[in-house]
Amino acid sequence: QVQLVESGGGLVQAGGSLRLSCAASGLTFSNYNMGWFRQAPGKEREFVSAISKSGTDLYYTDSVKGRFTISRDNAKSAVYLQMNSLKPEDTAVYYCAATESRLLLHTDDYDYWGQGTQVTVSS
């Protein structure tokens, strides 16, 4: 059974930082590209960042570029999202996702999803 479990969310003030973690099990982690998505109340799930199988290629949506950093540790079957200079508009549930596809920017490109972790940024 494939499981993705996010952790590290919480409440922070604007300008603060959080580091999200996603632990994967039940799959050969190094065979999967990994992504982070987020969903605010009343809005569609939005692409945030993705990383290739080897960690060589990194992708970010424009609104987080320069503030967020994605990374992975294949030995630990984990992917991370370091979030700095947080803004109230970053408030959302953040989801970890895994795919064997080379298409990484849309919800439908991913095969497996975690349950999400809440990130709340106060003004």
Question: What average pLDDT does range 107-112 have in this prediction?
Answer: 97
DSSP label at residue 61: -
pLDDT digits (tens, 9 = 90+) for 69-95: 999 999 999 999 999 999 999 999 999
Give the pairing of strands 10-13 and 78-83: unpaired
Task: Identify the pLDDT of residue 47.
Answer: 98
The span from the CA of 18 to the CA of 11, in Å, is 9
Residue 4: its pLDDT value, please? 98
Q: Specify which residues 59 forms β-bridges with.
A: 50
